[in-house]
């Protein structure tokens, strides 16, 4: 038949439930199970088949099913409750931030990140960094911080993983229709769609800006796949972490430079700028350009202004994981940019210059971020220590323990990751508003009041739900492999709901050692196949498409899982995403994590498991060093680092087998009352109490706010007021210091010969003559530095004041001080001079202005 034209009809939402449209476009629903229940009631099968995407769901649901719920009183009551809850959430002023910072009059806090893991229906994330960013934004919304996010809207996102019948990972990229996502074109104050442009290697690239609502927070996402661009430029925002170094530098120019321009076009002027990993570091170059071009600041003055309000979070504990570009690429892409900063090439390059051991030089995004951020942090206590050691060379003249990189230990968004069944239980036991007290240890102490039977039944229900979910995934996976009907039916025998179940799911980077537990297959077989005490292990995770060793790990696990002795005890499931993660962290009994210490910056998946009652069995790395209290899980290996990697693997694997055999398996199966493992439940409760009360993003974001955001906002306001008077003064002072610093001379005398053996309590008196040409004593902080040593390495350090006694001749000053030997051991001491100014927010704020006696 011939048609005059064709049209596509979509369902019409009845007026009574039109609020579903509003819900579908705000990601608040992703951490509100009642709102998800609405879609499940209307059409559960469609909800699942659309990957729980309410935008697609409302386009495809039948009109008949929409109309039918109008007669369902239970549905309408739930709908009214959800809409009222949402309205109250969005409109309340009674937030933690408003109560804590009543007089805040600053601008927004802008958070830049290359990926955001909000929900599996919005595939713009790959792993831990993105999930952390998504959880960060959700909690910023919950506690009412004036927050703005900036990132990318990827046309193809990160790859979909398939594992073929030989065990090899296949990377599949799908193109997404943005009309099917919970985003809308961002609009300016005149109601016009927002576009910005950026020069990339002499070519103008246009960027469309999209708006994503995450509760009260808006995240602005950049998109170059628009008709104004040529195919090569349209491809720039196609894939997350795809392409070569040139693709990466162009993407990071977009994130940083176009991201700032997008906010300006939206009339958003933040007081604080948070770079979440080095990918975003170019944003401060653009801020400098604005200040120099619009306010006529100098290059050095602009540096001080952007540093004042900037925060940098590093997530990577190994040098190779930090982005760095060859200088020829910087010349290619920034050759026309640094003149707009009124900078010479050497001045510009120095901002990120890193000398490599082989004599080469690279432009490090991490060093750029550290150079232009007044405050920096790692993401766990141990990671803070690792980061201070890793980047000590950026602060020449101070020890690693003094490097001004603090830490804020990562958490997870509790309402996103705690299973619905447990949340209902907590609501019953802790009170209606339990979710407003997530970081209150006193509330979580009430976990003891929950009966063992009730908690165990909830967990068993969640485990069965996990196993059923895995069966469906495995059927899909193996149907594609062409397995027979009988083989597919046998999938129902895989995984026993009553067996001790271990989960291992994460990115398949080799340092995470996914195959460590297979080091002794014979011993593992005995553990897993004990007929009276069976154990089973579930694996999931993706390896980067360019990471061949990681892909080989996946293949090895797949091969072992198909061995006769392991085929019902070990499974590896493809396409690890947020949906699978939610099932795993709430359904397994043990969460296994065995990275090569100290390479795990945080490892938040274990936090998700812990607050669901799954106990952690982990190397003492990342968050678990802080979280492990010997009553809430188990440690693998010991609390130290190794230089011999083979020895480390041997010790850790033996520790793993011993703990499973002697502690974990017996505790799970022994001492049962009415089939409830009494001792196991004690550890479950302690896991929930200790993990849920601290390792949450509510605590984390409050800590960022008090420790970093608010101090940065205060300093930013100080530096920008009165036409940048303070910033100009500070930059001028710093310039004088830098020009005269090398002329400082220090002479030291002491009442003690350090070649002697000294008794504890001995007072050492120090006298120092310090020559300060062109500087003066008000600009320095002279001090005695006393370091405690082990094997000639500094393990701790204390400083003692040197007081000026008099000027003994022009520009030369006499100082005196003393210190006491406080404990036994080996010590080293010295005198040093550091820069000091009232505008410096913390010690060692300035890099490389430290002087010791020659």
416-430 pLDDT tens trace: 999 999 999 999 999
d(CA 779, CA 783): 13
d(CA 72, CA 69): 5
Q: At which of 646, 670, 690 does a domain end?
A: 690
In contact, 794 and 400? CB cutoff 8 Å:
yes
Residue 124: strand, helix, or coil: coil
**How far, in Å, are 332, 344, 396, 515 from residue 361 at the CA level?**
16, 17, 17, 36
**Whether residue 639 sits in one domain with residue 534:** yes
pLDDT value for 569: 95
> Is residue 590 one of the residues assigned to a domain?
yes
| Contact residues for 609 (Cβ-Cβ < 8 A; gap 6+) | 503, 584, 585, 586, 588, 591, 615, 616
Mean pLDDT of 85-100: 97
Residue 198: strand, helix, or coil: strand
Which residues, listed in sequence order, are joined to residue 790 by a DSSP beta bridge? 793
593: left (phi over 0), alpha (psi -120 to 50) or beta: beta
pLDDT value for 754: 58
In contact, 156 and 171? CB cutoff 8 Å:
no
Tell me: the pLDDT tens digits for 349-379? 999 999 988 889 999 999 999 999 999 999 9
Tell me: the pLDDT tens digits for 379-413? 999 999 999 999 999 998 899 999 999 999 999 99
Cα 675 versus chain centre, distance? 40
In 481-604, where does DSSP find H-type helix? 485-489, 521-528, 548-561, 578-587
d(CA 430, CA 594): 34
- Give me the residue label for tokens 């790692």: 378
> Is residue 394 one of the residues assigned to a domain?
yes
> What is residue 29's DSSP assignment?
G
Q: How far apart are the first and last CA of the chain?
A: 94
**Residue 756 confidence class, pLDDT cut points 50, 70, 90:** low
**Whether residue 218 sits in one domain with residue 174:** yes
Core vs surface per residue 818-839: b (16+ CB within 10 A) or e: ebebeeeeebebebbbbbbbeb
Give the dihedral of Cα atoms 597, 598, 600, 603; nearest 10 deg: 80
**Whether residue 314 sits in one domain with residue 173:** yes
Tell me: the pLDDT tens digits for 475-490? 999 999 988 888 888 8
Total Cβ atoms within 10 A of residue 146:
20
Mean pLDDT of 197-205: 96
pLDDT value for 359: 86
**Whether residue 175 sits in one domain with residue 291:** yes
- List the Cα angle 257/264/204 in 5-degree steps: 45
Residue 780: strand, helix, or coil: strand
Q: Is it the case that residue 755 has pLDDT exceeding 70? A: no
Tell me: the pLDDT tens digits for 431-454? 999 999 999 999 999 999 999 999
> Is residue 543 one of the residues assigned to a domain?
yes
Residue 788: strand, helix, or coil: strand
- Give me the residue label for tokens 């995770």: 541
In contact, 826 and 714? CB cutoff 8 Å:
no
**Whether residue 475 sits in one domain with residue 343:** no
- CATH, residue 750: 2.60.40.2440
Q: Report how many domains make up the chain.
A: 4
- Give me the residue label for tokens 């990229």: 173
> What is residue 820's DSSP assignment?
E
**Residue 752 confidence class, pLDDT cut points 50, 70, 90:** low
Q: Which of 153-162, 627-636, 786-795 has the lowest mean pLDDT?
A: 786-795
Tell me: the pLDDT tens digits for 644-692? 999 999 999 999 999 999 999 999 999 899 999 999 999 999 999 999 9
Residue 505: strand, helix, or coil: strand
> Is residue 427 one of the residues assigned to a domain?
no
Total Cβ atoms within 10 A of residue 720:
18
Q: Is it the case that residue 795 has pLDDT exceeding 90? A: no
In contact, 369 and 281? CB cutoff 8 Å:
yes
Burial class (CB in 10 A: 0-12, 13-18, 19+), 493: exposed
The count of residues in the chain is 854
- Tokens in use for 752? 């003690």
Give the dihedral of Cα atoms 6, 8, 14, 19; nearest 10 deg: -150
| Contact residues for 153 (Cβ-Cβ < 8 A; gap 6+) | 124, 178, 181, 183, 210, 221, 222, 223, 237
pLDDT value for 753: 64
- Residue 26's closest CA among 184, 145, 194? 184
Q: At which of 91, 119, 135 does a domain end?
A: 91
> Is residue 116 one of the residues assigned to a domain?
yes
pLDDT value for 793: 85
**Whether residue 379 sits in one domain with residue 522:** no
> Is residue 272 one of the residues assigned to a domain?
yes
Give the β-pairing of 793-801 and 169-172.
Answer: unpaired
In contact, 610 and 633? CB cutoff 8 Å:
yes
In contact, 224 and 206? CB cutoff 8 Å:
yes
| Contact residues for 77 (Cβ-Cβ < 8 A; gap 6+) | none
Structural domain for 594, as ranges: 446-690
Residue 56: strand, helix, or coil: helix
Mean pLDDT of 539-554: 96
d(CA 285, CA 336): 13
- The per-residue pLDDT of the chain, averaged, comes to 95
- Tokens in use for 572? 């590896």
pLDDT value for 8: 79
**How far, in Å, are 127, 379, 523 from residue 659 at the CA level?**
29, 28, 13
Mean pLDDT of 583-606: 96
d(CA 665, CA 526): 12
**Whether residue 818 sits in one domain with residue 766:** yes
Q: Is it the case that residue 308 has pLDDT exceeding 80? A: yes
What are the backbone dihedrals phi and psi of residue 472, each rounded to the nearest 5 degrees, phi first? -65, -45
**Whether residue 353 sits in one domain with residue 390:** yes
**Residue 526 confidence class, pLDDT cut points 50, 70, 90:** very high
Total Cβ atoms within 10 A of residue 466:
24
**Whether residue 291 sits in one domain with residue 152:** yes
**Whether residue 249 sits in one domain with residue 131:** yes
Q: Is it the case that residue 562 has pLDDT exceeding 80? A: yes
Q: At which of 42, 63, 91 does a domain end?
A: 91
For 153-276, where are the E strands, in sequence order?
160-163, 169-172, 183-185, 195-200, 203-214, 217-223, 272-276
In contact, 320 and 237? CB cutoff 8 Å:
no
d(CA 395, CA 389): 11
Core vs surface per residue 401-435: b (16+ CB within 10 A) or e: ebbbbbbbbbbbbbbbbbbebbbebbeeebeeebb
**Whether residue 707 sits in one domain with residue 666:** no
What are the backbone dihedrals phi and psi of residue 821, each rounded to the nearest 5 degrees, phi first? -75, 115
> Is residue 839 one of the residues assigned to a domain?
yes
Burial class (CB in 10 A: 0-12, 13-18, 19+), 398: buried
**Residue 731 confidence class, pLDDT cut points 50, 70, 90:** very high
**Whether residue 749 sits in one domain with residue 720:** no
Peptide linkage before 337 cis (omega within 30 of 0): no
pLDDT value for 749: 85
Helix 678-694 vs helix 452-480: crossing angle, to nearest 10? 80
Q: Is it the case that residue 266 has pLDDT exceeding 90? A: yes
**Torsion over CA: 61, 66, 72, 74 (sign):** positive
Percent over 70 (pLDDT), the chain: 99
Percent over 90 (pLDDT), the chain: 89
**Residue 522 confidence class, pLDDT cut points 50, 70, 90:** very high
In contact, 302 and 341? CB cutoff 8 Å:
yes
pLDDT value for 10: 86
Total Cβ atoms within 10 A of residue 763:
10
> Is residue 434 one of the residues assigned to a domain?
no
pLDDT value for 33: 96
- CATH, residue 675: 3.40.50.2000
Q: Is it the case that residue 38 has pLDDT exceeding 90? A: yes
Tell me: the pLDDT tens digits for 801-845? 999 999 999 999 999 999 998 888 888 889 999 999 999 988 899
Cα 97 versus chain centre, distance? 22
CA neighbours closer than 13 Å in the CB half-sphere of residue 466? 30
Total Cβ atoms within 10 A of residue 704:
24
- Give me the residue label for tokens 């961002």: 186
């Amino acid at each position: 038949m011939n048609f005059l034209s064709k049209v596509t009809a979509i369902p019409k939402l009845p007026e009574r439930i039109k609020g579903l449209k509003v819900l579908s476009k705000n990601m608040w629903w992703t951490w509100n199970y009642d709102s998800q229940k609405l879609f499940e009631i209307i059409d559960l099968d469609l909800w699942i088949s659309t990957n729980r995407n309410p935008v697609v769901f409302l386009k495809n649901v039948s009109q008949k099913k929409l109309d039918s719920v109008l007669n369902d009183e239970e549905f309408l009551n739930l709908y009214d409750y959800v809409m009222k809850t949402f309205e109250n959430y969005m409109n309340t002023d009674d937030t933690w931030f408003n109560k804590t910072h009543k007089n805040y009059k600053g601008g927004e806090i802008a958070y830049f990140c290359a990926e955001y893991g909000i929900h599996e229906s919005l595939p713009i994330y790959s792993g831990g960094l993105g999930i952390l960013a998504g959880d960060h934004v959700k909690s910023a919304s919950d506690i009412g911080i004036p927050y703005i996010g900036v990132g990318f809207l990827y046309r193809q996102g990160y790859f979909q993983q398939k594992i073929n019948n030989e065990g090899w990972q296949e990377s599949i990229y799908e193109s997404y229709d943005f009309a099917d996502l919970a985003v809308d074109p961002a609009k300016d104050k005149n109601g016009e769609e927002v576009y910005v442009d950026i020069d990339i290697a002499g070519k103008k690239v246009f960027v469309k800006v999209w708006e994503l609502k995450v509760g009260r927070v808006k995240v602005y996402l950049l998109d170059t796949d628009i008709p104004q661009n040529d195919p090569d430029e349209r491809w720039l925002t196609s894939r997350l972490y795809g392409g070569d170094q040139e693709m990466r530098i162009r993407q990071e120019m977009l994130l940083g430079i176009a991201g700032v321009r997008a906010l300006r076009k939206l009339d958003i002027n933040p007081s604080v700028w948070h770079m979440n990993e080095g990918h975003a570091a170019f944003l401060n170059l653009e801020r400098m350009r604005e200040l120099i071009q619009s306010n006529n600041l100098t290059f050095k003055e602009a540096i001080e202004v952007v540093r004042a309000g900037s925060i940098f979070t590093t997530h990577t504990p190994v040098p190779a994981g930090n982005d760095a570009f060859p200088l020829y690429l910087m010349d290619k892409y920034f050759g026309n940019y640094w003149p707009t900063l009124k900078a010479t090439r050497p001045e510009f390059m120095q901002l990120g210059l890193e000398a490599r051991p082989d004599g080469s030089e690279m432009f490090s995004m991490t060093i750029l971020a550290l150079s232009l951020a007044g405050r920096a942090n790692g993401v766990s206590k141990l990671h803070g220590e690792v980061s201070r050691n890793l980047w000590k060379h950026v602060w020449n003249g101070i020890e690693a323990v003094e490097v001004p990189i603090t830490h804020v230990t990562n958490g997870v968004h509790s309402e996103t990751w705690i299973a619905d069944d447990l949340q209902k239980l907590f609501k019953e036991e802790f009170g209606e508003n339990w979710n407003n007290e997530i970081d209150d240890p006193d509330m979580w102490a009430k976990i003891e009041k929950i009966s063992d039977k009730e908690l165990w039944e909830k967990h068993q229900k969640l485990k069965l739900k996990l196993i059923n979910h895995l069966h469906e995934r495995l059927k899909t996976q193996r149907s594609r492999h062409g397995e027979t009907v009988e083989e597919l039916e046998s999938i129902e025998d895989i995984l026993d709901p009553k067996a001790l179940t271990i989960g291992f799911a994460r990115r398949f980077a080799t340092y995470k050692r996914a195959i460590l537990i297979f080091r002794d297959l014979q011993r593992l077989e005995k553990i897993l196949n004990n007929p009276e005490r069976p154990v089973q292990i579930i694996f999931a995770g993706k390896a980067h498409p360019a990471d061949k060793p990681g892909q080989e790990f996946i293949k090895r696990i797949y091969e072992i899982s198909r061995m006769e002795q392991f085929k019902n005890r070990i499974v590896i499931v493809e396409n690890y995403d947020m949906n699978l993660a939610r099932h795993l962290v709430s359904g397994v009994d043990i969460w296994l994590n065995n990275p090569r210490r100290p390479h795990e910056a945080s490892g938040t998946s274990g936090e998700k498991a812990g607050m669901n009652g799954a106990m952690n069995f982990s190397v003492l790395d990342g968050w678990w060093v802080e979280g492990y209290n010997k009553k809430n899980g188990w440690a693998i290996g010991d609390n130290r680092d190794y230089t011999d990697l083979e020895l480390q693997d041997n010790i850790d694997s033996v520790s793993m087998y011993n703990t499973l055999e002697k502690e974990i398996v017996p505790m799970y199966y022994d001492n049962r009352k009415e089939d409830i493992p009494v001792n196991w439940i004690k550890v479950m409760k302690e896991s929930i109490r200790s993990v849920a009360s601290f390792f949450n993003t509510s605590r984390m974001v409050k800590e960022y706010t008090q420790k970093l955001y608010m101090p940065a906002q205060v300093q930013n306001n100080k530096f920008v007021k009165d036409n940048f008077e303070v910033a100009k003064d500070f930059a001028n002072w710093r310039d004088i210091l830098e020009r005269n610093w090398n002329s400082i001379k220090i002479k030291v005398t002491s009442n003690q010969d350090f070649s002697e053996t000294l008794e504890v309590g001995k007072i050492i008196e120090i006298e120092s003559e310090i020559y300060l040409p062109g500087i003066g004593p008000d600009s320095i902080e002279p001090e005695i530095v006393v370091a405690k040593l082990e094997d000639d390495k500094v393990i701790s350090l204390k400083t003692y004041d040197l007081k000026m006694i008099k000027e003994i001749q022009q520009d030369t000053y006499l100082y005196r001080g003393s210190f006491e030997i406080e404990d036994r051991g080996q010590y080293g001491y010295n005198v040093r001079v550091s820069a000091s100014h009232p505008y410096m927010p913390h010690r060692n704020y300035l890099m490389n202005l430290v002087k010791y006696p020659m």
